[in-house]
Amino acid sequence: MVKYLLFALSLLGLFLFISKRIESYSLQVQKLEEQEMGYIENVQIKTYGNKGLEWTIEGEKLYLVQDILVFDKASLYSQDFVIKTQRAVLDRLSGQGTLIGEVEYHSKDTLMRTENAHIDLKEGKVWGDGEITIVEEGRTIKGRGYTINFRPLSVDLKKAEVRLE
């Protein structure tokens, strides 16, 4: 019982650490918008892991704030997925970050849409507390609160509503 309690507390601590880190990203993005900074246009970055190329990230503009990469009008490609968003804020060391504004996930036969999300490129995971709409083979699924794992593809919804057409 004590082990489970300690495990739950450690998960809670990890969640709080990640949310503080993401909150820090948001503050850095606000500072970025307030000051005149240089940027790179039409950029493409490739990330590699143990199995070779894992992600290709493209953006109309790239700002660098310490170890934080800020992509405007970003597209993130993996072998089977494409993620598009108005802005991607990524920690270049941890591979974690936030997707802000009109986030779309495309796979072979599935389209998912939400407004904002958190991402972990190394784990291949996206999650959020907002609303999400999933369209797949004539079905529309809406939910609030979700986790999407890309390897293998699995979607967990907290509050789901399914509509068949």
Higher pLDDT, 31 or 139: 139
Sorted by where each begins, the domain ranges of the chain are 2-164
Look up tokens 């039409």; give the residue: 42
| Residue 33 confidence (pLDDT) above 60 | no
Over residues 85-91, the mean pLDDT reads 95
Over residues 7-12, the mean pLDDT reads 56
Over residues 135-152, the mean pLDDT reads 88
Class of domain 2-164: mainly beta
pLDDT of residue 43: 93
DSSP 50-87: TTEEEEEEEEEEEEEETTEEEEEEEEEE-SS-EEEEEE
Q: Helix (H, G, I), strand (E, B), or coil: what is residue 9?
A: helix
| Residue 53 confidence (pLDDT) above 90 | no
pLDDT of residue 49: 78
Please state the φ and ψ torsions of residue 123, each to the nearest 5 degrees. -85, -15
How large a percentage of the chain has pLDDT more than 70? 75
Measured CA to CA, the distance from residue 23 to residue 38 in angstroms comes to 23
Look up tokens 């369209």; give the residue: 135
Please count the residues of the chain: 165
Q: Helix (H, G, I), strand (E, B), or coil: what is residue 51?
A: coil
Over residues 74-93, the mean pLDDT reads 92
| Residue 18 confidence (pLDDT) above 70 | no
Measured CA to CA, the distance from residue 42 to residue 60 in angstroms comes to 4
Higher pLDDT, 161 or 56: 56
| Residue 123 confidence (pLDDT) above 70 | yes
